[in-house]
């Protein structure tokens, strides 16, 4: 009698192997560019994927060149982002109509965390698409800016070395990082200079923020951004230390030489003056021996100190002639123990000493006449007015929000207008009473609310909503996950009118998704 189990076992094993191989082959053949035509399927994908680029095409024939680029980019960003193809001439016709897409050739929209982010507005190349998908919220890469066509953009060390090897003219290379504020400020001048100087030499740039360019930072000892290095015959000649303006850059490329060393100005203590400069070891004895002394604590780099210095010198001379007291000064950067002892926290700080001891601060003395008038009749200034009570502690119909109650409170309302503010901000102080009046007028509505966020206390909340100035007003509708900047007037009537028309405003936002901010 045959053992059927022994006969079946090899067969089962072969079937399992075939199944595994089939699954692996299926995965290998799966396209990186996902073709889609069902709206529900698309909504599900947007709920589960955080970085999605939709490509609507008029037809495969019309978009043949674009499709090749999109396919290559989808392969390159596999695992980092999801790229979807929707054919508006075929199976995706209904979906295109639902999404209000009518491409002439191709139209691309980006979605971040399930919400519309922006229309793709960069070059239609594999490199541009890949850069965008890897950093959708980043700035336009410098090499894609139309004004930077004459800047030679170097992707890596190999391209840099190749340029230096073949180029016989002078070469300036700007080592930069995309996030660097000084680099961003300099880029327009550098781009214009590259255009004007292209017959003289080469002006290039390399992004050393890229991981693969860490070797560049090490080789050229780049420790700050931007760093500009000039090369001749392939060898480093000098670090450019001139002004970062177009004219200065062009002038340097025409005549590359280091700028003359600036002679530092003499220290205040070394100048001829009737101000007495005190140090830690001379301070106490001098104060004890002079019954009436004003002491200015300063820092040499401080702009306000520099502005006050000639007035202080002039007043010191006048007081010496009148024999009404002495003006002294302390360089707080050289005498930190004295500055610490007298609780100096800013510059300039002027303190009055009487009968050998500290008496009080004199914050309002900023010209020679006032300094002399004070020393004629020293009087302690009145105490500053008490600080205003926190807005949140003042009774009003404004809802004060924090990280803990922000989302729960706004979810309860259909329409919310939130003012992000700082207590010290003058424009905020002007808008506050109008905002309070508007909140009172709208208090009878259970569907809308005016809220406020103190950004000095809720920094993370304000950062999450990209608040860059005060006050910033934003409209919220949590049901539709809609957030929009409010840029209307700042009177109570303006706020009330906006909220009374909130339904119409919301409809407009939903019809124009590019105006909706991705912040919820």
Would you please indicate which residues are annotated as catalytic (active-site) residues?
Answer: 302, 305, 425, 428
DSSP 141: P
| DSSP bridge pairs for 387 | none
Which H/E stretch holds residue 207? Answer: strand 202-207
| Tokens standing for residue 33 | 């560019």
State whether residue 3 is helix, strand or coil.
coil
Number of Cβ within a 10 Å radius of residue 153 = 15
Which residues lie closer than 8 Å to 102 by C-beta, 6 or more apart?
88, 96
Query: Using alpha carbons only, what angle is made at residue 233 by residues 232 and 239, rounded to the nearest 5 degrees?
Result: 25
Q: What's the rounded Cα separation, in Å, for the pair 345 and 337?
A: 12
Segment holding 189, helix H or strand E: helix 181-196
In contact, 82 and 49? CB cutoff 8 Å: yes
Bridge partners of 419, per DSSP, are 452, 473
For tokens 């951004």, name the residue.
225
Place of tokens 């002394």: 293
Residues contacting residue 275 through CB under 8 Å, at least 6 positions apart: 268, 296, 312, 313, 316, 327, 328, 329
Query: Rounded CA gap, 78 and 133, in Å?
Result: 10
CB 50 within 8 A of CB 115: no
Six-digit token string for 417: 């207008």
- Residue 338 Cα distances to 12, 224, 285, 302, 347, angstroms: 88, 34, 14, 18, 14
Q: How far is CA 482 from CA 43, 506, 520, in A?
A: 17, 8, 8
Residue pair 211/180 in contact (Cβ under 8 Å)? The answer is no
CA-based nearest residue to 295, from 310, 311, 312, 307: 312
Q: Is the dihedral angle over the CA atoms 137, 143, 144, 145 positive or is it negative? A: positive
- Strands, E assignment, 332-461: 349-354, 357-361, 399-400, 415-421, 448-454
337 φ, ψ (degrees, to nearest 5)? -65, -35
Going across the sheet that includes 448-454, the strands are: 399-400, 448-454, 415-421, 472-477, 482-486
Q: Other C-beta atoms within 10 Å of 303: how many?
A: 9
Residues facing 108 on adjacent strands = 55
């Amino acid at each position: 009698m045959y053992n059927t189990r022994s006969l079946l076992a090899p067969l089962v094993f072969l079937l399992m192997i075939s199944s595994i191989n089939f699954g692996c082959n299926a995965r290998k053949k799966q396209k990186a560019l996902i073709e889609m035509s069902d709206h529900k399927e698309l909504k599900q994908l947007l709920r589960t994927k955080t970085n999605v680029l939709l490509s609507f095409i008029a037809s495969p024939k019309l978009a043949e060149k674009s499709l090749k680029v999109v396919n290559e980019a989808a392969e390159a960003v596999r695992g980092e982002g999801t790229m979807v193809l929707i054919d508006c001439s075929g199976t995706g016709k209904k979906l295109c109509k639902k999404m209000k897409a009518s491409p002439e050739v191709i139209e691309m929209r980006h979605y971040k965390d399930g919400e519309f982010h922006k229309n793709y507005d960069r070059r239609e190349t594999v490199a541009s698409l890949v850069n965008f998908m890897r950093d959708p919220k980043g700035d336009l890469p410098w090499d894609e800016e139309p004004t930077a066509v004459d800047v030679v953009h170097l992707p890596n060390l190999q391209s840099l070395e190749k340029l230096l090897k073949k180029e016989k003219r002078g070469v300036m290379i700007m080592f930069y990082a995309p996030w660097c504020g000084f680099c961003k400020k300099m880029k327009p001048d550098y781009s214009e200079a590259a255009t004007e100087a292209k017959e003289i030499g080469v002006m290039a740039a390399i992004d050393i923020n890229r991981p693969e360019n860490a070797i560049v930072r090490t080789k050229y000892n780049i420790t700050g951004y931007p760093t500009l290095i000039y090369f001749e015959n392939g060898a480093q000649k000098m670090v450019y230390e001139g002004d970062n303006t177009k004219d200065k850059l062009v002038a340097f490329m025409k005549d590359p030489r280091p700028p003359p060393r600036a002679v530092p100005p003499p220290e205040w203590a070394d100048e001829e003056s009737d101000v007495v400069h005190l140090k830690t070891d001379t301070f106490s004895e001098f104060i004890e021996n002079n019954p009436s002394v004003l002491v200015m604590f300063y820092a040499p780099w401080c702009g306000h100190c520099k502005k006050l210095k000639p007035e202080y010198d002039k007043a010191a001379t006048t007081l010496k002639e009148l024999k009404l007291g002495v003006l002294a000064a302390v360089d707080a950067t050289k005498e930190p123990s004295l500055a610490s002892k007298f609780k100096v926290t800013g510059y300039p700080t002027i303190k009055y000493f009487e009968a050998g001891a500290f008496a009080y601060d004199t914050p309002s003395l900023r010209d020679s006449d006032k300094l002399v008038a004070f020393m004629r009749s020293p009087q302690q200034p009145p105490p500053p007015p008490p600080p205003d009570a926190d807005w949140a502690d003042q009774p009003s119909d404004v809802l004060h929000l924090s990280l803990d109650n922000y989302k729960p409170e706004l979810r309860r309302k259909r329409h919310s207008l939130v003012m992000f503010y700082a207590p010290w901000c003058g424009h905020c102080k002007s808008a506050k009473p109008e905002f309070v009046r508007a909140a009172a007028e709208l208090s009878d509505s259970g569907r809308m609310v005016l809220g406020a966020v103190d950004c000095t206390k809720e920094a993370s909340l304000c950062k999450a909503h990209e608040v860059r100035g005060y006050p910033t007003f934003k409209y919220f509708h949590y049901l539709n996950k809609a957030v929009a900047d409010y840029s209307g007037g700042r009177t109570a009537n303006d706020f009330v009118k906006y909220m009374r028309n909130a339904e119409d405003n919301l409809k407009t936002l939903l019809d124009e998704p590019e105006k909706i901010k991705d912040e919820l």
